[in-house]
Structure 1
Amino acid sequence: MINNNHREKVFKDIKESISDTFSHIETFYTGTFGKFKVHTGYKEIDHLISGLHSGDLISIVGNSGTGKTTFLVNIAMNIAMEAKQEVAFMSLQHLPDQLGFNFLAVVGNVVIRDIIRGYIRVAEWHKLTKAACELMGSPLIIGCAPFNSVKHLIDEVRKIRQTKQQLKLLIVDSLGMLQLHDRKEYAEGLRLLKQAAMELQLPILLSCTVKTKSFKKDNKTVIRDARYDVIDTYSDTAMMINLKSSDFTVPHSRSKCNKSRSDLERCFVGQAFPGPVVNQ
């Protein structure tokens, strides 16, 4: 448990509920919505999904190597460094120094491969030094641990929430690193994360690796993964990222987002779409 405020009431009088809801509407109208949602820093994504709302589970799906981690790092930096809001980034697939490479590359606008190989010019050293100073002054916390289960992960997040009352966003990268052996366990993991988002009154941004299949004849790519319907069921919003695309179409939405301080030239997303179709 975080504190007693998170479970004060199971039921509310309709008058109290409507009054609270109307207060939320007023904050959205006046733009003072910080308590209820945060912006990703990508204008077209924020327009598409209306920001990241407290209590929501937002899933970023895509094939391996499509840039999901870099995309999440960009969002973390936009919120922590531009909006000056607290963000927790939990990596299940990187060591702390590896994750540090990602953040330095994004903030310093330096190619991460050059950092790892040691191909760093004088100008890039200046960029990295400045990026390091900016990162150390940002309200960002990172965690890197090989959690055995979703419950173990959530327990750790509860501890973070106790010490970081102003935390605005939790990012988890990636669900596939947890011990979820079948579709049933995958569904249970997503269900627990959704419950945690509601309990902690936080948006949780989660990356999930899914299998896709390309069709050369009509130049399209579709998700071919039995777990996707589970992701769609438990996520308030599901988005797909594909860096190899020049455009994409989904049944009800279209969005194109330019890069933000990184080598992410474009990302392509759709809101809660079943069976997305991506033009390559």
Structure 2
Amino acid sequence: MNSALAALSSDEPEFGSRLPPANTEAEQALLAAILANNLAYEKVSDFLQADHFADQAHGRIYEACGILIERGQLATAVTLKNKFDQDGDLAQVGGSQYLAELAANYVNIVDVRHYGRIVYDLYLRRQLIDLGEDVVNEAYRHDLELGAPQQIELAEERLYRLAETGQTEGGLKEFKTALREAIELTEAAYKRDGKIAGVATGFRDLDALLGGLHSSDLLILAGRPSMGKTALATNIAFKVAASRRLERAADGSEIEEPETVAFFSLEMSAEQLASRILSEQSEVRSDSLRRGDISREDFEKVVDVSRRLSTIRLYIDDTPAISVSAMRTRARRLKRQQGLSLIVVDYLQLMSPPGGSRAENRVNEVSEITRGLKAIAKELNVPVLALSQLSRAVEQREDKRPQLSDLRESGSIEQDADVVMFVFREQYYLERAEPQRRENEAEDKYQERYSHWQQRCEEAYGLGEVIVAKQRHGPIGSRKLTFDGNTTRFGDYVPDDHLPDVR
């Protein structure tokens, strides 16, 4: 076995004898092009830096060229000669004479950026090798406080940062390009049912107010416990995953593609979420499902619904205290493999900040998390719907409707979010505020108060409200929804005067 392995690997050099990947000729050709025509520097300076060169001397030359060019001066072998006469790094390759040789050996380069990308790609490979060696060495050490899962998380964070530095296609975008993209978005909304530009939540009135959930937006859905945050988020996630979108094929025809949703549940297990959705869609009480206390008819209904639900692209990750970096890695992987339409996070205060380190100030820690979620939304170009707790200040007021100031450990939550929504159910508070007869209160006065309370309870029964308190791209306002507590299901609200005539 060992001899066979040795034979298979005999053509490969020993790991310790491998040289770091580099291309000296590409570095020389790039520098020669810059010395011959300083405009070449502008074509690579947006992504290429001095420390990206494998040869330190080449990095010093590139840096010196940049300093002169950015001052509006000419960078040539002559203007750089004085700077490098006494430079020790350059002396190893021939001193200032080396600059003259670079300029003399210049060959016209058609695509300077191509050479810049070669230098940059090799730099990333060297960094990747160093990172891999560090991961191996740290894994061998037994005296570290960090366990293996934390080491994996930190490695993922470092890999992401390395991948992020490799994005060389950014920079300024022509207005006409941005304008074309805006027109395409408007056209998509015009052609779509309901005139929705973003991902439809499936709730008619809410979609009309928001225009759907827009790509690259961070949306905060906040509320006090028992208001139905998770229920509403689960309803939206299911409705999105069960829908399909129109995509334009290569031949110009339009095809339907299923939507894909990633649901990161830090509070509930995947099985609990699945039970909720099963209850919502089968209309069988969730507590009856948990106890198995259902009739044969209900059981058959549940089985039938489960078959239909198994085909939707809803992916649940119930890792507790997941970090921003781990979430980003898993979401990127899902988008690459299946596509991605929406990310749901339940809820952000339970997440670990980037890098896994705990900040001394909880507000700063939550701010790091919201900034990380906003970065994920922009990078993956999908809406991120993050749930958030509200402070107890709501309970101290007579009017329990939440306000932006109630956001718990708000920090940058309000600032980073494109949309802030609150879910509010007045029924919850009214049921816990049954009037008690006051001392020396007349019976008729007490009955009047009690009747008023009963009337309010009847008006609020089975209703919820979504309050849009901030919307960067549109109006604010509130929309009513129906709510069934038995199945934790929200639905579109239809006023009595809009009910269809069934005669």
TM-score (norm 1): 0.82
1:171 maps to 344
2:307 maps to 133
Q: 1:123-180 deviations in whole A, cap 9, x for unaligned?
A: 2212211121011111222222124422222222222222122x21111111122236
Matched, 1:200 2:371: no
**More deviation in 106-115 or 143-152?**
143-152
Structure 1 counterpart of 2:351, one-letter code: L
Matched, 1:111 2:282: no
Q: Note the C-alpha offset of 1:194.
A: 0.4
Structure 2 counterpart of 1:131, one-letter code: V
Structure 1 counterpart of 2:344, one-letter code: I
Q: Distance in 1 between matches of 2:311 and 2:228?
A: 26
Q: Distance in 2 between matches of 1:73 and 1:28?
A: 25
Match 1:191 to one of 371, 396, 405: 371
2:173 maps to 12
Q: Note the C-alpha offset of 1:5.
A: 12
Contact 1:214 1:221 in 2 (8 A): no
1:72 maps to 233
2:65 maps to none
Match 1:214 to one of 395, 398, 402: 395
Q: Distance in 2 between matches of 1:25 and 1:265?
A: 29
Summarize the alignment of residues 1-280 of structure 1 with structure 2, pairs less than 5 Å apart: 8-31=169-192, 37-83=198-244, 84-165=258-339, 167-179=340-352, 182-212=362-392, 213-214=394-395, 218-223=398-403, 224-228=406-410, 230-245=412-427, 246=460, 252-259=476-483, 262-264=487-489
Q: Note the C-alpha offset of 1:220.
A: 3.6
Q: Distance in 2 between matches of 1:71 and 1:149?
A: 24
Contact 2:346 2:386 in 1 (8 A): yes
Q: Distance in 1 between matches of 2:164 and 2:306?
A: 35
Q: Note the C-alpha offset of 1:38.
A: 0.8
Contact 1:24 1:33 in 2 (8 A): no
The SS at the match of 2:277 is helix
Q: Distance in 2 between matches of 1:89 and 1:159?
A: 14
Q: Note the C-alpha offset of 1:258.
A: 3.0
Q: Distance in 2 between matches of 1:32 and 1:102?
A: 28
Q: Note the C-alpha offset of 1:203.
A: 0.6
**More deviation in 142-151 or 233-242?**
142-151
Structure 1's 16 and 219: CA in aligned 2 closer, same or farther, altered over 3 A?
A: closer
Q: Distance in 1 between matches of 2:317 and 2:288?
A: 24
Q: Which ranges of structure 2 fall in alignment gaps of 5 or more residues?
A: 1-159, 245-257, 428-459, 470-475, 494-503
Contact 1:243 1:267 in 2 (8 A): no
Structure 1's 238 and 183: CA in aligned 2 closer, same or farther, altered over 3 A?
A: same
Contact 1:241 1:267 in 2 (8 A): no
Structure 1's 192 and 126: CA in aligned 2 closer, same or farther, altered over 3 A?
A: same
Q: Distance in 2 between matches of 1:43 and 1:4?
A: 41
Q: Note the C-alpha offset of 1:231.
A: 1.9
Structure 1's 229 and 239: CA in aligned 2 closer, same or farther, altered over 3 A?
A: farther
Structure 1's 75 and 9: CA in aligned 2 closer, same or farther, altered over 3 A?
A: same
Contact 2:237 2:263 in 1 (8 A): yes
The SS at the match of 2:230 is helix
Q: Note the C-alpha offset of 1:29.
A: 2.0
Contact 2:280 2:489 in 1 (8 A): no
Structure label with greater radius of gyration: 2
Structure 1 counterpart of 2:219, one-letter code: I
Q: Distance in 2 between matches of 1:222 and 1:65?
A: 14
Structure 1's 230 and 140: CA in aligned 2 closer, same or farther, altered over 3 A?
A: same
Structure 1's 4 and 26: CA in aligned 2 closer, same or farther, altered over 3 A?
A: farther
Structure 1's 136 and 4: CA in aligned 2 closer, same or farther, altered over 3 A?
A: farther
The SS at the match of 1:240 is strand
Q: Note the C-alpha offset of 1:68.
A: 1.2
Q: Taking CA–CA contacts closer than 8 Å with sequence separation of 6 or more, which of the two structures ends up with the larger relative contact order?
A: 1
Q: Note the C-alpha offset of 1:87.
A: 1.5
1:278 maps to none
**More deviation in 187-196 or 133-142?**
133-142
Give the number of equivalent residue pairs: 266
Structure 1 counterpart of 2:267, one-letter code: Q
CA-atom RMSD in angstroms:
3.2
TM-score (norm 2): 0.48
**More deviation in 101-110 or 207-216?**
207-216
Q: 1:156-210 deviations in whole A, cap 9, x for unaligned?
A: 2222222122x21111111122236601010110011001101001111111111
Q: Distance in 1 between matches of 2:482 and 2:196?
A: 27
Q: 1:52-78 deviations in whole A, cap 9, x for unaligned?
A: 011011111011222111111111121
The SS at the match of 1:256 is strand
Structure 1's 20 and 170: CA in aligned 2 closer, same or farther, altered over 3 A?
A: same
Q: Distance in 2 between matches of 1:139 and 1:35?
A: 21
